[in-house]
Chains A and B, each alone.
Chain A
C-alpha cells in the first residue's frame, strides 16, 4: 500500500451507454487523467452507476470505446452502492477484508500470515482496530462501510470507482472515509466518486463530471455557492 502507482489515463471516445431501452450516456468523450480525483454527479437515472459499471467491464458500451490503457479487471476496484454483500453470512471482518486480495491471488493461491496482518492493519486504518474477529452481521451501517474501505485498501488497485460511498453512513464515518480518499489521491490513484452533496463536491473534488444528457459538463469543479436561503 502506498507504493508509487502509475495508472494510465482512462480515455472515453464517443461513449454511448444504454440502460434497457433508454440511452443514459450519449457520445461522451474525454480523459480521466492519471491521479485525478473526479466527482461524478447528476440526477437520478442520469447514468452515473451505469458509467461506473462500464469502466469496470460490467456493462458493455452500445457504441464508442473506453480505453483503460491496458489495465486488468483486478486493477480497477469498484465499490457499488448498497453492495450485494450478504451481511448475514457467517464470516469475520478480517476475512472479508482479506478477500480484497482475491482478484490478484486468483482462486487457489493461499493468503499468508503477512497478508492477514495487512488486513488487520487496514481495519485499524479505517478506525476498526480489534474488530478483525467480529462477525460482519454485528456491524452498524457505518462500520460496515469502513470494512468495505479496508477491503479496497487490500485490493490496492490504481483505479478506484466508488458509487455514493457516503450515502448511508453517519457524519463521523463520512469524514474518516473522506480522509482515506484523500490519502489515496495523494498516492496517485485515479478516483471517480458518485456524489450528491454539492458542498462536499466543491470542497474535496478538483474535477467534476456532471451527467445531464446533452448538457453534460466535464472539467474543474465550479466554485460552490451556498443556496440563497442558507
Chain B
C-alpha cells in the first residue's frame, strides 16, 4: 500500500511533478470548460500544435532554457490564436477546416525545426518527461496557475456574457473581442506551462478531458468547473503513479487517467450520462 501510493512521492522529481501538475489542474480545466461551452474545443488542438514552432525557435536561440522555450511557445501560440481568429472572420471556407489547416502546418513546422537541432528530444517536447521538471519548469507551472486564476476571476462576468450571448454583449456596448483575446492568452499560457512535464500534445489533455468529463457531474457552470478541477487533480496523482510503476511517459499516463474518468462519468455520472438517459 505504502509502496504503491506514497513511496514514489518520496522522490524529489516525483514531488516536483506532482506539485506542478496539481497547480495546472487548478488553473487549466476551468479554461477547458469555457472552451467546451464556447464550442471551441478544436481551438485546443490548434494551440497544442501552434506553440510547437515557437518552442523550437526559443531552443534554437537560447538553448534548452525553459524560459526561452516557454516565451517562444507563448508568442507562437498567441500568433496562431490571432491568425485563427482572423481566418474565422474571412469568408469562403468553413472555420473548422481552416483551423485544421493552421495546426497541421504548425505541427509540421515545429517538428521540422526541432529535428534540425541537436540536443532536443522531440518525444520529450511532444509527450513530456517527468524527470525534466526542474525548478524553472516548476516555477513556470505554479506561476501560470497563479496568474490564470485571478485573471479568470476578473474576466468572469464578461466572459460568461460573451460566451452566452455575444449579440447582447455587442448591443450593450461591451467589448466582446477583448475578453475573448484575454481568455485565449490564458489558454496559451496554460498549454505552454505544461509542456515540460506533459509535453505540448498532452498538456492540452489535462485542460480538455476533465472539462469534457465535468458535464456529467454537474449541470451548473460553477459545479462543472469544480468537477473539472477535481477530475484533473485525480488524473494528475493517479497518472503520475501509473507512469512511475509502469514506465509509461507521464503525459500519456495522466491523459489516459483523465480519459478513463471521462468514460466513467459518461457511463454513470449524475448528469447527461448513459445511465441517466437509460
Q: B123: CB under 8 A from chain A? A: no
In-complex Cβ contact of B219 among A78, A135, A155 (8 A): A135
Given A58-B170, A72-B173, CB of A107 within 8 Å of CB of B165: no
Once A73-B173, A74-B173, A89-B37 are accepted as A-B contacts, the answer to whether A108 and B164 lie under 8 Å apart by CB is: no
Interface residues on B, range: 20 to 34
- Known contacts A90-B219, A90-B220, A90-B224; is-contact A84 B168 (Cβ 8 Å): yes
Question: B171–A99 contact, CB under 8 A?
Answer: no
- Please tell me if B143 contacts chain A, counting CB pairs below 8 Å: no
Q: Assuming the A-B contacts A90-B221, A92-B220, are A85 and B171 also in contact, with contact meaning beta carbons closer than 8 angstroms in the complex?
A: no
A96 touching B164 by the CB < 8 A rule? yes
A31 within 8 Å of B (CB atoms): no
Q: Which residues of B contact A72 (CB under 8 A)?
A: 173
Pick from A76, A85, A103: contact of B165, CB below 8 A. A85
Q: Provide the residues of chain A in CB contact with B219, threshold 8 Å.
A: 90, 135
CA distance A91 to B71 in the complex (A): 36
- A-B residue pairs in contact (CB < 8 Å), sample of 23: A57-B173, A73-B171, A74-B173, A76-B171, A83-B165, A85-B164, A89-B37, A89-B163, A90-B215, A90-B219, A91-B160, A91-B164, A91-B220, A96-B164, A99-B168, A102-B158, A102-B161, A102-B169, A102-B172, A103-B172, A107-B158, A107-B174, A108-B154
* Chain A residues close to B by CB (< 8 Å): 56-58, 72-74, 76-78, 80, 83-86, 89-92, 96, 99, 102-103, 107-108, 135, 155
Residues of chain B whose beta carbon lies under 8 Å from any beta carbon of chain A: 37, 154-155, 157-158, 160-161, 163-174, 179, 215, 218-221, 223-224
